[in-house]
Structure 1
Amino acid sequence: MDRVHMPVNQVDNPTAQAGERFLGQMLFIKDDRLQEAPTVRSLVRPMLPVDRQAPCEHLIQRFLSEPAIYALPVVDDAGCPVALVDRKRFVEFFTKPFSKELFGRQGIVDFLAGNHYHAPAPVIIEDCCSVEDAAQILIASGIEHMVTGFIVTHDGLYAGVANGHDLLNLITQRKQAELYYLAHYDHLTGVPNRVLLADRISQACREAERSGSQVALLFIDVDRFKQINDSLGHRVGDAVLRALVGRFKAVARKMDTVARIGGDEFMLLMENLATPESADMLAGRLVDAMRQPVEVLGHSLIVTVSIGIAIYPRDDSDVSRLMAKADAAMYEAKAKGRNGFRIYSDGTATFNPARLSLENDLRRALANDELYLAFQPQVEIASGQPRGVEALLRWNHPQRGPISPLEFIPLAEETGLIVQLGAWVMRQAFAQMAAWKSVGLPTLRMAINISAVQFHHGDFAELLARALAEFDIDPTLVELELTESVLMHNVEEVLDNLRRIKTLGVMLAIDDFGTGFSSLNYLRRFPIDRLKIDQSFIRDITRTPANASITKAIIALADSLSLDVVAEGIEDSVENDYLNELGCQEGQGYYFARPLNTAQVAEWLAGRGADSA
């Protein structure tokens, strides 16, 4: 006789239904928290047990009068189970000649102890045992127990009987539900995946066609999510995605579908829209919901999103094209500075199959002089005097025309081309500095962006030193802009590289500050000269209290660490004057100048009345 006390597995108890009707009762549930699993308690049939001293004729009469009974449990005086009498064998035995007369009045325990009737030891399982463990016990004990079933106890006392077939049916239903979930839901976040989303979009569009309503697709991409994984690891990245899903669902309507379609890309389906403006309002609320830091695994992170919107049937009546147009609008939002949303229009560039060959084109671009540098001035806010320029890589594709850096820079980083591109940018920037000096233009600081891949590749400091010497550049006029993700990966190695760079006399700045993951402790250790406030915090700074508070905090932090501050993305005099009041030293943005080519830089300097150093 086997008495089994098994722990409860953390799974759930589905019903015998199909499709989405399972989804509240399965192993993986939508909020990614595991609930209490089904146990054999859910299968118990409370059946009046038989006392071990009861005569066998009582059992045979009960079997004959109650055809639904497949086995009868036998308990002792304390209520502990001692046997399970199989209906089929027992009834067949007592239909033999003289069996009832010879054994009918004999006590059931004495009868089972004899050699007349084969009575296998019953399987006895505690009611807290999981259904999976119970099935394994039954299979190991012998196939006959699938028919006779088993006895269920609670704290060792008889509680009822359970049927092996019911047990396997329940497990089968749960597995069906689990397979449905795995095929239609994202295992990390618990929201619908691309397959289920496509089905819901199709249904929503059919309903909209019948009712005359509209459907909105909001394509959501997490800005700079790769930096989170690279700097803090995939465990933190996964936690961030789960936290963001919680915010998306909190902002969305109950009838809306939030789906993860891959990586850091999500889509929100809005059904039964009376007007497209409802989608615009929801997109705005989603962007606003990102203003509060995401608190995960001991990290406080500022995470922003870029959103593209497409409306059915206004923008397209084909589901796949509608999704592509929402995707294209999202990329336009990224090109406009991230942390915002854009609505699809006829002028929005949609996916081009030529993008598949973009890597090969980029490799040829270096040799074919398709790449060039633009320069955006950095200006002292208080005086309006030019102080430097930032070198910006641009690509003019011979067939596709200008290609956004937001499209080709991530590709270059993924393929490793960024190392070659970065070296080209550095040499071109230094060559331009030497050329400006030779014609007597004012001395300007040159800011150059350095990617994480480039910074960690080979001996970067040695490469920098050779380039400075080749073009005879004053290193104090060079500023390398690093993102926070560069600094937070292999901190000791990074610190060593930064010190070697500082030995050359080059200045160091943290780009897009406030969107990454630097801690105050690391800022104190790193030999940084300047912080660049990300443009997402400057936008609408006078009308958005959260942006103003973050900007004030960054300026105060920089002041306490004796660091300079540059604000990116200044677009009007109101923002400029407000930043001046906050004590921000320098600014950069369309208010001063758009990115300029070499000739335009000279004209711009002449127009500002800049003096030669």
Structure 2
Amino acid sequence: MSPTPSSSSLLPRRAASLFNGQLQQPTTVRQLVRTMEALSVRASCQCALDRFFVDAGLYALPVVDEHAHPVALLDRKSFVEFFGRPYIRELFGRRSIVDLLAYEQYDSTAPLVVDEGSTVEDAARMIIDAGMQHMVTGFVVSRQGRYVGIANGHDLLDTITQRKQAELYYLAHYDALTGIPNRALLADRLEQACLEADRKGSLVALLFIDVDRFKQINDSLGHSAGDEVLRRIVARLKASARQVDTVARLAGDEFVVLMEDLSNPGQAELVADRIVASMQEPIEMLGHSLVATVSIGSAIYPRDDDQIHNLLTKADAAMYEAKSAGRNGFCSYTPEMHTYNPASMSLESELRKAIERDELVLFFQPQVDLASGKVRGVEALVRWRHPQRGLIPPMQFIPVAEESGLIVQLGEWVVRQALAQLRAWQAQGLEPLPVAVNISALQLRQKGFVGFLMAQLAECVIDPGLLELELTETVLMKDVEEVLRTLNEIKALGIRLAIDDFGTGFSSLSYLRRFPIDRLKIDQSFVRDIDNTPVNESIARAIVALANSLSLEIVAEGIEKTAEVAVLRQMNCQEGQGYLFSRPIEAERFPAWLAAHGALQLAAA
């Protein structure tokens, strides 16, 4: 039940810069350098200690020889701890740093030195090969062998992750075939446009565009030719629209032009007429000359509706009116048009009944210790067993639940059922297993949520430590102080907290120090093919190192191959879940699966 993140219509600034200007170009460590005056090997240890005390944000101090070549990187933690021992300051305070480095009881290792022209991926690989100890202390950056500054391993991870996030953002918000915004990004831009229209007193128009008889083009020329036709149609849509308009693809041969900051509806009609006219020019394709006409319907905000979610439905209704009038034309929405959308409206209505009729069911996916193979816990996953449609996956009904507000009622049902199932398993003699439950943003912000959790734990007589709530990064980054207060109240109950899909949000890693998180779940996009995808391996290794440095547990999601397990185990990832171990299992089948799994582990031992 992962909540739909609220994103802006543009990429976040850091990710945007990576995506727009540098995504396809190597990013060098030069951007990560923190320039500071280095210490000479002849400087006193007391001088280094004073520098650490003066600058609380200094994570390491570089040391250079007389030729400015880096020779050491003093780690703040180990250096200060060493001088906290009795008599050490008296013995080494006035002595030089070179004497300390030679002292056998001081943990001194050669610094990791990276040329400023190296890419961040190369630097990450060096850190990985060096055993990850430089993730927190950082590394020295040099130019032609001479010291120029130091860089933090966390910043390196952040840069690599931001690049990956930019790629994920693009895949999630742009159409792969045409490169224009998809339904998700259109919805966000529409919301922003309507809010701006409310402030300015202006209008917003949606032009819903459907290619006439496109199926015939696909059937006669093939899908590859059909794809090329769609790309050429998009080029004409963009040429006909204003530069400030958004041209988006909904699905198949359906497109939308979003026009904002309009002073009158006639501006939308002009663009619609230009689009219809542009399609009259034949498209030359595989020796054929074809004309791909379009039918267009429009809806105006707030004239036709002041509810944003109704605009697309009304523009769609107007488009069908244009098709009914003979295609190859344009029609504006009028109140007489039929706007009933049986797909979404029926699903919402049926979902309300499904909760009441107990049509929902929980499946459980095991979380396995990667070293021993022992099952350490389960994640509760909701499914909808529809009497006519069969088993409906979450991706089909969770968005409807979020949009309608049913996600709160649905989420409470999942918590109740998960705890009740834990109690039932314990009554059957099963060893108590922690259960993880996804929590939506709306559910977390309910005023009585903490009280609800307390009541459910008391009713089921369950150890609070067996319940883990999974939250996404985007949930944590909105109304931070209020969320922090709620999470602290939840932790006070003894409930565990985890961050789901870690690494996919556009948030700073610094929040990990503030929130009372127990463990991170590496998103499956970083786990997939980790054995032969270097950037995924780099990110996963860095996340594991980060978790270890903060004493957080770590779970990898989406494991499907033994080769992925081998890589994750080598980087000291503790637990994993995925189809390799088991698909989600119905509650009544889980005890038998658990017994069979345990027998396999014994046989393997």
TM score, norm. by length of structure 2: 0.45
TM-score (norm 1): 0.45
Larger Rg: 1
